[in-house]
Amino acid sequence: MTVYLHEGDLPDGLDLGPEVAVDSETMGLRFRRDPLCVVQLSSGDGDAHVVRLNRPAYDCPNLKRLMADPDVLKIFHFGRFDIGMVELHLGVETRPVYCTKIASKLARTYTDRHGLKDVAREMAGIDLSKAQQSSDWGAPELSQAQLDYAASDVLHLHVIKDRLNQMLVREGRMELAQACFDFLPTRARLDLRGWDEMDIFAHT
């Protein structure tokens, strides 16, 4: 595994292929209080690209272009948050998308454990460490432990996606899952507009 650290943006000409695993690191979980600090990506080849963003300018045309590219599938785990952060801070809508957490909830109905650590253990046989999850991602320099953690969150999403797709097809839920993925950027926009704590489909 090689972890490439890029300051500010992805390098010109970098081609990550038709499917890119994506995750982000922030200073917290509130959209307008906590800034987006890091975006990490992997093409599924065992390497990871970590972009330490230049806040508050967020001058990253290559990253923005990738996130909005209609020909590149972006694979997330709990994409709702990452997609919202990208739209809020980078000003682009992320499409098309796939969310392994949504796929897990539709396919793995025998469990209520759909966090990345649990899904990765079952689907990819990987035991992820979450030790750096709550750390200072806005620091002037990222530690090697932070870089390794950021990479681990994207390195296995392609394998997890493929395994979950097999289950979704087997159980006849692939079409339903795709409809959920298509709606996900809209769900993220609802969060940004103030409906983050309300289920607008609920009766009350």
- Indicate the pairing of strand 3-7 with strand 48-52: parallel
The owner of tokens 């994207």 is 154
Structure tokens at 72: 């590149």
What's the per-residue H, E or C state across 91-110?
CCCCCCEEEHHHHHHHHCCC
d(CA 173, CA 40) in angstroms, rounded, equals: 29
Eight-state DSSP code of residue 25: E
User: How do the pLDDT tens digits run along the chain, 204 residues long?
Assistant: 899 999 999 999 999 999 999 999 999 999 999 999 999 999 999 999 999 999 999 999 999 999 999 999 999 999 999 999 999 999 999 999 999 999 999 999 999 999 999 999 999 999 987 666 679 999 999 999 999 999 999 999 999 999 999 999 999 999 999 999 999 999 999 999 999 999 999 998
Radius of gyration over every alpha carbon of the chain, rounded to an integer in angstroms: 16
Q: What is the pLDDT of residue 129?
A: 76
Q: What is the pLDDT of residue 131?
A: 63
User: What is the biggest distance separating any 2 CA atoms in the chain, rounded to whole angstroms?
Assistant: 50
Q: What is the pLDDT of residue 133?
A: 66
